[in-house]
Structure 1
């Protein structure tokens, strides 16, 4: 049916009146009669107790575990991921209702498309039959050699196209289809110079390709002879089929996905991989049709789930396919909509891995899938050496150009921050490895664990560890902002780090090493940036824990010492204590200092007013 056809008023209501919701929904949910309603387990969540209700009188369903509800059309749209028009068309077929036709042209188009669907279905049934006949012996041996039983053939409607020039054509003509219809369905070919049409698929294992409603619209054929060219052959584009807009097994995968906890469909490279995954328990597997993923196919994936996993062979060709997919996806990323990548090792594909190591090995590989940002980072990091400032600048430029393709401003900003952070961490690790033992913790001033000033720290950079601790555990800033603001730092570059830390926190720009370092560099304060970047990474500490208390004590003791002169009579090497008495004393000292500062500020403001 043409997508521009408007459904007349009353048609949808008549359609719903002809269909009993419990009959349609009962095909997907095991329902039990309970009074005037039917009850079952939710198809949308993994609940243990039934909270899914169907009411035939009101013609509605309600799932209390997920909050989803509506009429039978909404149920079909939700469970099969169909558009409204697709759901109406599916239910109208079941109800025996003729879809409305706005014009004679629409009616002609609809009738022609219906005949093409019927022609493809007849061909599919014929191929299935031939697989089980004497002429399908070689095809059966091939499928059995790939680990597929007769049950799998039936589940995936696999078939065999006889190795003859006109057998399929003659069969379809015997079923009442014209030569024009057979050719328009993509089942026959005619040379450009003329001559009699001949079968498109000959001597091949057949994989039927369906649309989002599950109707056969095209075929893929795998040659059985070693010299078959091409090894895989797809239907040509037709009125029903455009290979860049379809995914193999899409309808079955969408329905299987509804019963999994995964983030999205699994995308593999070929028919056999998708079937192998499905037979191993990964029913939400699909495959593109021999091409890189298109925008239309990405749209189909995201309609089914927010984070599909692209599973590629772990060889150079697989990496190239992953990189092409990244370029397609970047402009369309949104909050909650991305891609993950499962890159298999040793040049294996999912079919190989499952047959050699079993489904659990495949499951483990999927559980270790990489997010898109990680694969993007590796692609640019490994593109060339980054051992000079110029090459490092080139890496940053490539990363930012990739992030610039993202249209959503929030996701774009998040990618820019993440990629810059990965680059900084990688370069720091490179420098650390070159420094050898000189880069070990404790070699540059303060040791990281507690963040307290201790003996052996160069006096000028005392306090740097306290600041870095706050940067690496930003919640510390919230509970000690005033104290950090009032603290004195003898080294001007350490003080500059503190100033940027405070301004970033107050401006709610987010606090991490990368943000502060970039701000320092933009000010021209490269020494402060280097001080911060070269300080060893400090694990983030948990709120309200003993380490947080240690840090607060160290900070207040530091401030108290600096007030009476940098490391005055208190002594630079005094141990930090966390006793209740020490805590109360230090807290009292800082509170007194804050009160004194507040009184001075109030007096100054009074002078200004006078």
Structure 2
């Protein structure tokens, strides 16, 4: 709708003049009158002391805890995840102002789109009514079999299209819509035999598809008989609807997501999956409309949150869809903009998992998500055997070619470093496996190439077949491969006694790396131990049995508990332990001093800002943020 209009000079000013900011903002923030201003807790950060101010005279807000500020339009943009034009349209409707039309043709197009949307809304209401009728009995039985109650049908506006060639269109004509309007809205199709158009959806469970403002613009229909083809049928492209640019439940999902520093929407593959996730408490679920995720849809995801999670069925098709999403997203990743992935177990989709194992299992699957970089690495690592130098060189070439697609130079460099580090560690594992077991040609399927754990294997600690490995060594090597889990673990590691010289030396090496703030990697640790004469002990470790630890809370707690088993009770620490504790204390004191100095600086800046004229702040805000304009040109 916004593409047909241009906001002229003065319209935004008049709109803001008609709307009192405290009225709009007060619906989301509990405000208390304080002098000439309204005060409340920040909607952008968690705080206990109010630092959020609204001034109706100056028509601005300022949040001192987050540093955000602006006018009522920018507030709506931030809290509801809307574009500038979407926020203007929403507020204009609330103020009773009609959006300006640039010329008669634009006005006509605007009115025509509005009319088509009214056709879709009338059809949605009709389908809802039919679901409750006797002819909707089969659809109701299907929904109940999927565990959905009538309250959920209403929440998602589910309906039923009568199994008749022209019953829906006849109803819409009786409501005052023309045959041409019904056809253009995608609710009927032209007859190949020259007859009048026939209903596009017949005998199907209906899913209304809203646009980013919540208006119905299209439909999806699920067949209720096994022999009906296709099983899912979507509206074709219309003036309102292009399926490659729309996500099912997008408006509701981004409202459920709310405003936060991290996270994002959950993307699943179908209507029923999105509904099942929502009913299980994951209201930020959306779904593409029967196509692979497009760049336009990925852009929509990033508008809602920086790190959406793509949740695919755990089968070959789901893995293929995940790989395609990797290729689509790579050119556009940048700081604060990436993807995470979940591949569900046993070929399940989210609806299956929730019905069979419950919402807790779904939550655990989402917590175990992996980043885009990890999935890229696993894809290329398992693409072919790595049993020759040529094939290993091929892996490096594929990884660097993928990283080269990234446009942001900083992220591109970070990917290259990360992928090369993973590759070095993996090749080291292959060499270790070759020394122990003799060279075995990698085979596809089951385990990864060259004996490495295959994608999807669960992290765990397993002894080799000879049973010669010390559990302490395995725990520590697992941490070396997952250094992020070691944050704040220095004191616990210092206190641990693994009752084995090799384990304790490995512990000391890790602690020294952490205290000196040096980059911890498998290659660096093993090289150091080899130089110290521990090559034989290292050769006894089956590195192919050790995988990275997930960085989620359950995995962290499990690993920490295993380490704490080795902390002796009432045993005096060694002299070396005391030296390491002293070094750690010095580092922590330095970090606290630096953090305190930074906090003092921030406090000084906040006090200065609090005394500054808020009008000066707004002027500075516009100067520092040229993207924000009030004439609609940033649309």
Structure 2 length as normaliser, TM-score? 0.69
Corresponding residue number in structure 1 for 2:490:
none
Corresponding residue number in structure 2 for 1:343:
343
Corresponding residue number in structure 1 for 2:224:
224
The question of 1:257 aligning with 2:229 is answered no
Q: Distance in 1 between matches of 2:252 and 2:325?
A: 23
Q: Deviations over 1:1-54 (max 9, x none)?
A: 453643222211222222233433344445556665555544333445554444
Corresponding residue number in structure 2 for 1:191:
191
C-alpha displacement at 1:346, in angstroms? 0.5
Distance 1:514 1:415, change over 3 A: farther
Number of aligned positions between the proteins = 488
Distance 1:27 1:206, change over 3 A: farther
C-alpha displacement at 1:342, in angstroms? 0.8
Q: Distance in 2 between matches of 1:379 and 1:222?
A: 33
Distance 1:375 1:472, change over 3 A: farther
Q: Deviations over 1:327-346 (max 9, x none)?
A: 10111111221111011110
Instruction: Write the mapping of 1:9-28 to structure 2, written as runs, cut at 5 A.
Output: 9-28=9-28
Q: Distance in 2 between matches of 1:56 and 1:151?
A: 40
Instruction: Write the mapping of 1:86-105 to structure 2, written as runs, cut at 5 A.
Output: 86-105=86-105
C-alpha displacement at 1:393, in angstroms? 1.4
Q: Distance in 2 between matches of 1:362 and 1:578?
A: 43
Stretch of structure 1 that moved more, 118-127 or 315-324: 118-127
Q: Distance in 2 between matches of 1:322 and 1:292?
A: 9
Corresponding residue number in structure 1 for 2:127:
127
Q: Distance in 2 between matches of 1:429 and 1:131?
A: 59
Q: Distance in 2 between matches of 1:24 and 1:477?
A: 49
Corresponding residue number in structure 2 for 1:473:
513
Contact 1:470-1:477 at 8 Å conserved across structures: no
Q: Distance in 2 between matches of 1:158 and 1:93?
A: 27
Instruction: Write the mapping of 1:282-361 to structure 2, written as runs, cut at 5 A.
Output: 282-361=282-361
Contact 1:46-1:259 at 8 Å conserved across structures: no
Q: Deviations over 1:66-92 (max 9, x none)?
A: 333322211221122221112111222
Corresponding residue number in structure 2 for 1:555:
none
Stretch of structure 1 that moved more, 324-333 or 387-396: 387-396
Gaps of 5+ in 2: 439-467, 471-479, 481-492, 495-504, 544-574, 583-635
Contact 1:191-1:197 at 8 Å conserved across structures: yes
Distance 1:579 1:109, change over 3 A: closer
Corresponding residue number in structure 2 for 1:419:
419
Distance 1:577 1:270, change over 3 A: closer
* Aligned-partner SS, 1:147: coil
Q: Deviations over 1:181-240 (max 9, x none)?
A: 111111111134421111111111111111111111111111111112111111101111
Contact 2:4-2:106 at 8 Å conserved across structures: no
Contact 1:471-1:513 at 8 Å conserved across structures: no
C-alpha displacement at 1:403, in angstroms? 1.2
C-alpha displacement at 1:415, in angstroms? 1.2
C-alpha displacement at 1:116, in angstroms? 1.1
Q: Distance in 2 between matches of 1:579 and 1:36?
A: 59
Corresponding residue number in structure 2 for 1:388:
388
Q: Deviations over 1:348-388 (max 9, x none)?
A: 11111111111111111111101111111111111111111
Q: Deviations over 1:449-480 (max 9, x none)?
A: 99xxxxxxxxxxxxxx99x96999387499xx
Q: Deviations over 1:571-606 (max 9, x none)?
A: xxxxx98999xx9xxxxxxxxxxxxxxxxxxxxxxx
Contact 2:262-2:306 at 8 Å conserved across structures: no
Instruction: Write the mapping of 1:127-206 to structure 2, written as runs, cut at 5 A.
Output: 127-206=127-206
* Aligned-partner SS, 1:473: helix
Distance 1:45 1:152, change over 3 A: farther
Corresponding residue number in structure 2 for 1:497:
none
Distance 1:2 1:437, change over 3 A: closer
Q: Distance in 1 between matches of 2:113 and 2:315?
A: 41
Q: Distance in 2 between matches of 1:56 and 1:339?
A: 40
Higher RCO, Cα 8 Å, sep 6+: 2
Q: Distance in 2 between matches of 1:198 and 1:437?
A: 69
C-alpha displacement at 1:63, in angstroms? 3.3
Q: Distance in 1 between matches of 2:303 and 2:524?
A: 36
Contact 2:314-2:348 at 8 Å conserved across structures: yes
Distance 1:122 1:3, change over 3 A: same
* Aligned-partner SS, 2:195: coil
Q: Distance in 1 between matches of 2:176 and 2:156?
A: 26
Corresponding residue number in structure 2 for 1:408:
408
* Aligned-partner SS, 1:148: coil
Distance 1:293 1:472, change over 3 A: farther
Stretch of structure 1 that moved more, 58-67 or 271-280: 58-67
Gaps of 5+ in 1: 442-447, 451-464, 479-509, 518-526, 539-575, 584-610
Distance 1:412 1:577, change over 3 A: closer
Contact 1:2-1:109 at 8 Å conserved across structures: no
Q: Distance in 2 between matches of 1:33 and 1:290?
A: 50
Distance 1:193 1:475, change over 3 A: farther
Contact 1:117-1:216 at 8 Å conserved across structures: yes
Corresponding residue number in structure 2 for 1:59:
59
C-alpha displacement at 1:162, in angstroms? 1.2
* Aligned-partner SS, 1:138: helix
Contact 2:513-2:520 at 8 Å conserved across structures: no
Contact 1:420-1:514 at 8 Å conserved across structures: no
Contact 1:470-1:476 at 8 Å conserved across structures: no
Q: Deviations over 1:467-494 (max 9, x none)?
A: x96999387499xxxxxxxxxxxxxxxx
The question of 1:45 aligning with 2:45 is answered yes
Q: Distance in 1 between matches of 2:109 and 2:191?
A: 27
* Aligned-partner SS, 1:98: coil
* Aligned-partner SS, 1:3: helix
* Aligned-partner SS, 2:345: coil
Contact 2:428-2:523 at 8 Å conserved across structures: no
Stretch of structure 1 that moved more, 323-332 or 354-363: 354-363
